[in-house]
Amino acid sequence: YTIGGVRYGNVASMKSHGFELSISTKNIESKDFTWTTDFIFGSNFNEVTNLKTKSHLWSFVSGNGFAREGYPVRSLFSIPYEGLTREGLPTFRFKGDRITPSNYNKINFQEIDDLAFLKYEGSAEPTFNGSLGNIFTFKNLKLNIFITYSGGNKLRLDPAFRSWYTDLWATPREFVNRWSVPGDEQKTDIPTLAAVRDHQSYGYIGYGYSAYNYSTARVADGGFIRLKEISLAYNLPKSLVKRLGFLKSASVKLQATNIALLYADKKLYGQDPEFFRSGGVASPLPRQITATVHLGF
């Protein structure tokens, strides 16, 4: 059917499968002490089996993920990066050609027919996730440690690189490791801050920095392990509660959530992979500490 001059239709088929595993164990159980564990693992995979439409290169490399026959519904692709020149400028492989500053004009983000040269990075959506919880009790004390995890996906890093900047730009941490002098191209993949001379020498230098943002150099692992929650609760002894007369039960609880990322790709420089947006990732979740008192009458 057609809406506003755009024709919509079912142009693809896909298959998907997944499973979930849940394990609960009692590791120790005695009169005064118990330790239980709950482990959950879930996985989901999908694949586009038939696709009757095409799109341009930008859709595949931007970071949102895009459908391509034989790959997941939201697949991330990249322009192959091939290192820096002795001037600190990025080079690539584009449709069989080696792209250097002298022929940056060959980079075409609107290319639609020949995209076989793009490198498949992985799914833009996690393919597995789960949690691990451990509960320890000792007499009237209860300690809960809860960990969540996710992985199997790739993220497009923030497209922060340009051929020019102003004093108003907030530059990312990667700039600390940028190319500065000849020889740095052997130890870093962060390009130089382009000088006026570079702009004069290479008329399409902006194309090169745009391609760098969407190259294999600007991809990170989206997997993470998060210490989600730690809580400690204490139930007042019944003998003490009875002395108060007007209470049937009483307990206090101290709880901390979003405590720390135990693992995340170092290329994220502390950014949170769980909450990413197109072109980058969001700020870390704020830590929260709460104290509660429960009284039963």
| Residue 16 predicted with pLDDT over 60 | yes
Average pLDDT across the chain, whole number: 90
Q: Nearest Cα to 130, choosing from 23, 222, 285, 231?
A: 23
pTM: 0.85
Q: Nearest Cα to 191, choosing from 202, 282, 122, 272?
A: 202
Question: Tens digits of per-residue pLDDT, 132-168?
Answer: 999 999 999 999 999 999 999 999 998 989 999 888 8
Question: Tens digits of per-residue pLDDT, 33-59?
Answer: 999 999 999 999 999 999 888 889 999
Least confident of 148-157, 255-264, 266-275: 266-275
Q: Nearest Cα to 81, choosing from 175, 213, 199?
A: 213
**154 burial level (CB within 10 Å; 0-12, 13-18, 19+):** buried
Residue 278's pLDDT band (cuts 50, 70, 90): very low
Q: Name, in order, each residue with C-beta under 8 angstroms of 86's C-beta and a sequence gap of 6 or more.
A: 182, 185
pLDDT of residue 25: 97
Question: Tens digits of per-residue pLDDT, 156-210?
Answer: 998 989 999 888 887 888 899 999 999 999 999 999 999 999 999 999 999 999 9
